[in-house]
Amino acid sequence: MISPLSRLALVFARGVARSLAPGLVLGGALTLSAAADDALPIGPDLTSVTVETEDGPVEITRHRNDTQLIGGVLQEIVPVPGVRPAGELEVLAALQDEGARVVDMRTMEWRTKATIPGSIHIPYTEVSMRLDELGCTGAEGAWECSGALEVFAFCNGPACGQSPQAIKAMVRQGFPAEKIHYYRGGMQSWTVMGLTTVENLF
């Protein structure tokens, strides 16, 4: 059964939809049309989900908007078993913790545009070769990570696959999953929350 809050949200959505009349299609289902080039995938093989409500079916889709940095597919909150999700407060605490590293795993092009102050840069393509910067000893293919630091990994947000790829590479190389914290919100959430960023860092 739909909650009063959900019902209110649906009524509000319908009111907004009616104000956008040309893009509205009603016929048992509430659907807002958008230009085909604004459509984004939800997951690797998922473009929409239709859910039943007491007012009929509603199709959930995803479209480009002004708050998104990129248009990739949505990432799981736990990319590898044992990895822990993190939010802004955990990232802020990690920035002040000598036993932790907040790691920007994006390419240099993205990092120079804006990043989290105090983060270090290890691109996702290089992380398996640079685990010594995260408390491991040895070399690629033979890392010893008993002294691993707490790592807070981020990239461009929930639709960015760079830090999840890096996390998987780290675990394959022997980095303990329980020492990895995935800040899935990344730069998208950090920016939307109005938190300070720095530019032109290399």
Domain segments of the chain as ranges: 4-60, 84-192
Q: Environment class of residue 77 by beta-carbon count within 10 Å: exposed (0-12), middle (13-18) or buried (19+)?
A: exposed
Give me the phi and psi of 133, to 5 degrees please: -80, -5
pLDDT of residue 37: 64
Say if residue 67's pLDDT is above 80: no
How confident is the model over 174-184, as pLDDT tens digits?
A: 999 999 999 99
Q: Which residue would you say has higher pLDDT here, 185 or 69? A: 185
> pLDDT value at position 146?
97
Which CATH fold would you assign to the domain 84-192?
A: Oxidized Rhodanese; domain 1 (3.40.250)
- Whether the pLDDT of residue 113 is over 50: the answer is yes
Cα separation of 199 and 202, whole Å? 9
Indicate the average pLDDT of the chain: 83
Give the least confident one: 48-57, 63-72, 171-180: 63-72
pTM: 0.73
Instruction: Decide: helix, strand or coil at residue 57.
Output: strand
Strands of 65-182 (E only): list them: 84-85, 100-104, 120-121, 150-154, 180-182
Beta bridge partner(s), residue 131? none
